A = this chain, B = another copy of it.
Amino acid sequence: MTDLPTRVEIREEGPREGFQIEPGPIPTARKIALVDALSATGLHHIQVCSFVSPKIVPGWADAEQVAAGFDPKPGVTYTALWFNAAGMNRALTFRDRMKVETAVTVVASEAFSLKNLNRDRAKNIEAQHVNVRAHQEAGVPVTRISVQAAFGCNYAGDVPVEAVMQALEDAFAIGAANGLTLPEATLADTMGWATPARIERVVGEVRSRWPDLSLILHLHDTRGLGIANAHAGLRMGIHRFDTTVGGLGGCPFAGQPGAPGNIASEELVLLCQEMGIETGVDLDALVEAGRLAEEVVGHRLPSTLLRSGTLARFRRAA
């Protein structure tokens, strides 16, 4: 009846997502402390910073210092985010400490493309060609597609599955024109529109068309359905999820001030553990890292598990 994975990869994006949205300033040493705490939890994949313009994202003006300052743990893949050749060049400085790879970014909603990327989808496709070539010239692998607004859009409403399919077609065409196969794709619920039924529908249709494409879900818990959506993904055999410790981050989009951001890493780890799915993560240590994240940003984070504690703690005491 279901196609549950035996092992799930939690792709921790708390530092990057969280510090880009906090009003701050947060001391660089505290950002580094959180990355190091996360490294000790058993997470295998941590996105540590964003190489974007400090004018646009002041919270990441110290990206270089964080990238240089954390203590890389063997077996953990560290990544960063950037959107253009300038960001790539900054990331390449840290090639010895980070996996430097990028994605072809496409958008399933024209309205969101205009609002968020400041260009329509056609112009974004042109920009992605340029971006892919810049990365290829620098020897940086481009292996992934990232589809934004794949489940709905605050500016366009419902996003038809056909728009997701078209976005993927566009990305594959960009890849093909540049000799790339693009074996993996992230479907991002950028504005928190997904429901379990929508996950099933979109994942199902994408799989039917591209059965060999490896899918990653990037889910936001904007309306309380985030973990239910992750569960729907697990049931369909999705085994890689972007999450943030404590639910760090938030929704930077209009009309949703104070809305939660990504699903909380520890809540997804709890769900996996209780379903007998391996994550490699020490949940108690991750909850402690979440509490550290709250100290670092100076306010409560959305994760409920930070308030209530793990089941393991109660089992031990029982």
Seen from chain A, the residues whose Cβ lies within 8 Å of a Cβ on chain B are 1, 111, 152-158, 192-193, 195-198, 221-225, 227-228, 230-232, 251, 255-260, 264, 267, 270-271, 274-275, 302-305, 307-311, 313-315, 317-318
Contact = CB atoms under 8 A, between A and B. Distances in A.
Contact of A111 (B1, B228, B318): B318
Nearest to A260: B304
A223 to B, nearest CB: 5
Nearest to A157: B318
Contacts of A196: 231, 271, 275
A225 B270 contact: yes
A224 B264 contact: yes
A154 B314 contact: yes
B231 A158 contact: no
A155 B307 contact: no
A304 B228 contact: no
B267 A223 contact: yes
Most buried by B among A155, A231, A256: A231
Contacts of A111: 318
Nearest to A264: B224
B274 A309 contact: no
Contact of A267 (B224, B251, B303, B308): B224
A223 B304 CA distance: 5
Contact of A304 (B270, B302, B311): B302
A221 B256 contact: no
Given A255-B314, A267-B225, A307 B154 contact: no
